[in-house]
Structure formats: C-alpha cells, structure tokens
Structure 1
C-alpha cells in the first residue's frame, strides 16, 4: 500500500496581498464622483454665487443710479479713491462667501460622518490620511474654480455697470488683479477651514457655531488700538482679505504688508489641511 503523499507546509497567502493599493488619483476621482453626485452641493454653490454677485452688482447699480446727483469733485475722486474696486467685491459679499464656503467645507466631511458612510470609506481604504488628503485636494480645486468664476464675474459685471457712467476700471488698474485673486482664493481657504473644523468636532450644530466664530466674530473682536490686538486681527482671514482687496485704506497705527496678508492665506490653508488629514488618523470612528 502506497503511503499518502504529504504536501510541504507553506504559509497561507493573503488573498489581497497581490492587489495594489489605491492610488491618490483614484481616491481623488472617487471624491469627485461623491461631490458631483450630490444635487445639494451644486444648489449651495449656485445660491452662493448668485448672492455674492447680486450684492456686488446691486452696490454698483446704486452708484450708477445716483451718479447724476454727485458733484463734479466727487466724480473726479471716485476712481482716485479706489471706490470702483470696493464695489467690485464688497465687504458684505466677502462675508457671505466666507460663511457659505466654510459651511460647504464642513458638510463635505460632516455628511459622511452623519450617514456613517465614512466607515465604509475607511474600510475600503484603510489609509485614512490618503482619503482625507484626496478630499481636501478635490475640495480645494472645486472651490478655487468657484471662487475664480464668482470673483471674475463680479468684477466684470460691476465695472460694466460703472463703465456706463465712465466710472469703471479695467483689470489692469492698480490693485484690481489683487482684488480678484484675493476674493477668488478666499473660497478655498474658507472651505478647507470648514472641513478641518468639521473633521475635529463632527457635530453639525457645534461645527457651524465654531466656524462662524472663527471666520466672522474673531476679526471683529480685535482692533488696531494695541499692538497685540492688531497682530491677532491681522492673522484672521477677513482682515487679510481686507488688506488685499480694499484700495485707499486709512492709515493705521500698526500697518502691515500685502505679503503678510498672502502669508495668512497660505498658513490658514496649510494648517486646515494638515489638521483634517492628520486628525482623522488619531481618532476612532
């Protein structure tokens, strides 16, 4: 009788060992599909765009309507004092964009935590940092395009309205390009800030409250009366936008440079992305 043959002992193979990990471009494509499939997302973007452009165009049209009532001296000083740029993207429009985009950024992550689909995402791709980095990249790209369209459309429309009274300025006018860039980039920076706050707090009401305090209340608390207060105020997004966007700013006791304001933009965007990407890796679901 032949003895039974025995197979050599071999370690069990991991069925998934030969499968390549998800590439970053694949993760970004998946996040883009999630984003574009939500009708509420495009509704929010559309409503925000209409509100911002309406604020700016309404201000320019008000100037157009009452232009004949201005004196010759006031008309001569209109462009010289930088009023066309102030009406191209008003402070009210900037506040609307900031509040709306910080909410959009927060919902990007809060929606998945609220429905529990974030667990499915992390089960499919355990590399949480890569997932969050892809979310941040897609959010930044979409909101940058959104900001560019809104800021560009606002500038073109307002200057066309003012141009009917010979009061508009071209994009080559000193400070005009900086205004458009600062207003456009305000959108992605606020969106990334909202995403970071949402990834840390993970509760809708608390996230929205903290977001409003961070982007709107804090800039109003600090003043230029004292050095520490001026420096703290300069570190906020709203005051950075004011420094970059408003022409003819009155002199202050503690002035700062446009380079400093751009640095504030970069630091906020970088810190928000780092917080969203690293924070999710350290917390349980």
Structure 2
C-alpha cells in the first residue's frame, strides 16, 4: 500500500473554511450570539418603553395652577435609549467570550496541535481566525445595533424619536456595530495569552469593564487620558448625541480620538495574538 502525502500548501480559502467550521461547531457560539442579541435588544427596548410611558404621563399632567410648583421636566435623549450602558457592556463581554473561545477552545482540547501540524504557518492560522471571527461578529454587531436603534426609535416615535439621518445617529450605529468585532479581537488576544476559559473571561471583564472604571477622575489629566484610551470610553463618546456634547468635562475625548482608540485596540489585539501564536509552544 502506498501512502500519498499532500505536499501542496494550504490555501487561505481552505483556512477560512476550516475556521468557519470550528467556530460554528461549538454549540455555544449560536446560543451566545442569539440569546445575547435578544437580551441586549430587550434591555434597550424596555428602556424605550419606560421612557415613553414617563413622557406620556408628563405631557398628560394638568396645566400649572397659581401657587403650585411645576413638576420638573424629564431630561430625555432618544439616542441614548438605543445604547444603554448595561446592555452594551453585556454585548462587549459576550463578543469577547466568543472571540476568546475561538482560541482557548483549541488549546484546551488539544486541537491546536493538529491545526499547526497541518498548517505550520501559524500566523496564517491567526489571520484566518481573525477574519472569520471579525466577519461574524461584525454582522452580529450590525444587526444588534441597527435593530436596537430602529426598535427604540419606533417606540419613541411620538416623543422625539430619531431617524438614521439625524445628527449622530449613523455614527452611533456604526460604533455599536464595530464594538462587537473589536471586543472579539481583544478576547482572541487574551485567549491566546491565558489559554483557559474561566481565566480568559475574567481577564476580559477586568480589561474591558473594570479597568476603565478606575480611570474616570478628572483631577489628574493622566488618569483621564488613560480612561479615554479604553474601548468603553471610546464607544460612549461615539454614541453620544451631538446635542449633549457641549459639556464633557475636563480633557474630553474627541470623536476622531475615539475612532483612533477603536483602531489601535484592534491592531494591538491582532498583533498580540499573532506574536503569541508564533512564539509560544502548544
């Protein structure tokens, strides 16, 4: 019997197909993305319904009478309703977990040895993972961002709801869509370094959510600048309604700087994942 060995180099298209199969062969991927999208949308729509009820009650209150103090009007931003912090922080963790699982899952199961034996060019494997995971999470982020904006503004249609053409709306939806692949890339980098499920998720939560909370003070500029360099701070600036951007405190983050933060974190995450894969043993 003659053993035939295929010596042709693996093509990038084949790597894409392999990474696509690996990603969707994990049942957790579909469950996390599906339930995560519904949860994020549910939180935002619930906020919109609550605001709509309060605004309706405010408009229905009887006219002011002499000697009776008027109720303070509700300060309301319809754009913020589509991008409620807890919902999108949850999305950040879920996206990072999916990205991390694409890496630490192979190390935990030992499949990474087979992968690197079939494809000695480890950086090509990382590139394929990055492109596949980024594409999937970009679609996920775009669907969630667009649906969140559309549903919340429909609920608020009688109370100043916005359209995609209003100032800041398209920028906010774009920032929401890109937040998912950005966090997935960060998760991949952390997964490549930690190589453990619980450790990776814990490190991602600390990096993306807890660390920014430590650098929110305005007393020292260096503290605020570190906080400004975090993805969460950049996202908050990008989804901010331009009508509310007149008072941002000391050392504010500009829109351009926020986009730079997005790009810098994505590039650093990819570079770290590629470097670790090429240097560390499996």
Same fold, judged at TM 0.5 (above): yes
Which has the larger displacement, 66-75 or 154-163?
Answer: 66-75
Partner of 2:80: 86
Confirm or deny: 8 A CA contact 2:82 2:152 kept in the other structure. yes
Confirm or deny: 8 A CA contact 2:234 2:253 kept in the other structure. no
Partner of 1:180: 173
Per-residue CA deviation, residues 9-37 of structure 1 (Å, 9 max, x unaligned), is xxxxxx75x83211112101111122223
- Taking a change above 3 Å as real, the CA distance of residues 259 and 205 of structure 1, as seen in their structure-2 partners, is same
Give distance in 1, aligned partners of 2:105 and 2:35. Answer: 19
Partner of 1:109: 103
Q: Offset at 1:166?
A: 3.6
The structure that has the greater radius of gyration is 1
Q: Structure 2 residue aligned with 1:190, among 170, 173, 183?
A: 183
Q: Offset at 1:205?
A: 2.1
Q: Offset at 1:68?
A: 2.2
Structure 2, unaligned stretches of length 5 or more?
A: 61-71
Give distance in 1, aligned partners of 2:146 and 2:219. Answer: 35
Confirm or deny: 8 A CA contact 2:52 2:159 kept in the other structure. no
- Output the TM-score relative to the length of structure 1: 0.88
1:281 aligns to what SS in structure 2?
helix
Give distance in 2, aligned partners of 1:93 and 1:182. Answer: 14
Asked if 1:266 corresponds to 2:263, the answer is: yes
Asked if 1:253 corresponds to 2:250, the answer is: yes
Per-residue CA deviation, residues 14-67 of structure 1 (Å, 9 max, x unaligned), is x75x83211112101111122223222101100110111011000001012222
Which has the larger displacement, 154-163 or 38-47?
Answer: 38-47
Q: Structure 2 residue aligned with 1:70, among 33, 58, 61?
A: 58
Asked if 1:143 corresponds to 2:137, the answer is: yes
Q: Offset at 1:271?
A: 0.6
Structure 1, unaligned stretches of length 5 or more?
A: 1-14
Per-residue CA deviation, residues 109-162 of structure 1 (Å, 9 max, x unaligned), is 111111111111111111111111100110001000100000000000000000
Q: Offset at 1:71?
A: 5.0
Q: Offset at 1:225?
A: 2.5
Asked if 1:211 corresponds to 2:199, the answer is: no
